[in-house]
Amino acid sequence: MDVCRVVNLGTMDYLRAWEMQKGLVEEVRVGNRPNTLLIVEHPHVYTLGRRGSWDHVLFDREELGSMGTPVYEVDRGGEATYHGPGQLVAYPILDLRRWGGPLKYVRALEEVMVRSLADYGVAADAPEGATGVWVGGEKIGAIGVKISRGVSFHGLSLNVGVDLDYYRHIVACGAPAGKVTSLHRLLAEPVDVETVAYTLQYQFGRALGFRMVEG
């Protein structure tokens, strides 16, 4: 079984984590590092993927400055999304040349989140024709990836105890306002992000066929 190294970065600025991913992509591609799963939380930030636009940001740039929440245009797939404290973000840097194609990979990431939520008694699904994971019509997990010469980066985000009010300022992944939820909200009790991270990395290994090793 192939090894995937897990690295928990704690809380890290979005741009710093993005630069780290780009460096790892090249190292994984040439075989200098094993497949790697980065686990991280970000300070408040909005990002616009390749299908995103400023029309998906529901306030002007002056307001953005006063909020202190940056908006970055990035090279992942997808539209607008939010990252912040209480959200579990996972960036798999994987050599997909040996593993499988992009569609299979995205479906596997959805399965990772569905299985992780099931461990907490939450029945989630990944509806056909939509990317991400939903519970009762509300989105709880988002996916946005990029594949560079056969190696993946960016990844998934799972709402654990995130402040859902921040989603009011964007059209999140095409989801209408008020159609986003979190594990905390569904269970009506606090959930530790680090504990969910351990669940997710276990389910990641199961779904994608990796032996997970702490790095």
Q: Enumerate the active-site residues.
A: 173
Contact 154, 161 (CB under 8 A): no
- From the list 161, 154, 166, 165, the residue with the least C-alpha distance to 140 is 161
Distance of CA 122 to the CA centre of its chain: 18
Kindly state the helix (H) or strand (E) to which residue 36 belongs, with its residue range: strand 35-41
Strand partners, 141: 133, 158
Residues in the chain: 215
Give 38: exposed, middle or buried? Use CB within 10 Å, 0-12, 13-18, 19+: buried
* Residues 60, 199: Cα–Cα separation, whole Å: 38
* Residues 185, 172: Cα–Cα separation, whole Å: 18
CB-based contacts of 182, cutoff 8 Å, min separation 6: 86, 140, 159, 160, 161, 162, 164
Contact 150, 95 (CB under 8 A): yes
